[in-house]
Amino acid sequence: MAKNGSSLKVHLDHFIARQSLRYIQPNSITDEDRVAPISSERDRNIRYEDITRDDGWFTRIRKPDFQRETNAWTPEDCVDFLDSVVNGRIIPSIILWQSQENGLVYVLDGAHRLSVIRAWIVDDWGDKAGNYYERRDKNLVGKAADSVRDLVNLKVGFFDAFRKAADEMDRLIQQGEAPKKEMDPRRFEQAQFYNDVVRGLRTLYVQWEQGGYETAEGSF
């Protein structure tokens, strides 16, 4: 993506851990790291709910150790992508590969997209990553994070606002009120999005790479 002119880059590399495609030994992988075999068409895609959970599927995926760092997007790139998500525009497929040797799932293409969604959900744009970026200019990391938040607030809205809007809709329904009539139009749309995405069945489409290590490495 990275087509906008800002010189600031958003640091999201801390969201998806790195792991070697080839050399990791199965006995060094914990049960918590493994992802269950893909068993259905729905499982083959990524549910937004999976990305929201702190103990879910998203925390167990990996990036190949030779993949570029997830810091190529500008604040504008991140918010443009989120705007596409919220407004239901077509999003390119995420390309994943599951190792038959150790059960880990690797992101071959789409680390930025997944990380931006996760960053929006937890409101962490690199400045809440502890010492992960201790060798970087903390000032630039913070400036980029502040810039993203400003743009999110202006163009999309904070994820927590979507959650609160959904809670407001629930409360109105329980009281026998008509949410569309009682709620601010933007908050009504936010509530609908939250219910559709987080509580519903909407997914990100995944293309699964078939084959062994050589196939996965050759995709770069």
Q: Give the model confidence (pLDDT) of 51-87 as tens digits.
A: 988 877 888 899 988 888 999 999 999 999 999 999 9
Q: What's the pTM value of the predicted model, to 2 decimals?
A: 0.86
Report d(CA 213, CA 142) in Å as an integer. Answer: 37
Report d(CA 201, CA 71) in Å as an integer. Answer: 30
Task: Please report, for the chain, the start and end positions of each structural domain, with discontinuous segments joined by +.
Answer: 17-157+201-218
* pLDDT at res. 2: 52
Report d(CA 169, CA 85) in Å as an integer. Answer: 21
Query: With a cut of 70, which residues of the chain have pLDDT below it?
Result: 1-6, 23-43, 211, 213-220
For helices 185-197 and 159-174, angle between their N-to-C axes, nearest 10 degrees? 100
* pLDDT at res. 27: 58
* pLDDT at res. 127: 94
- 94-98 and 105-109 beta bridge pairing: antiparallel
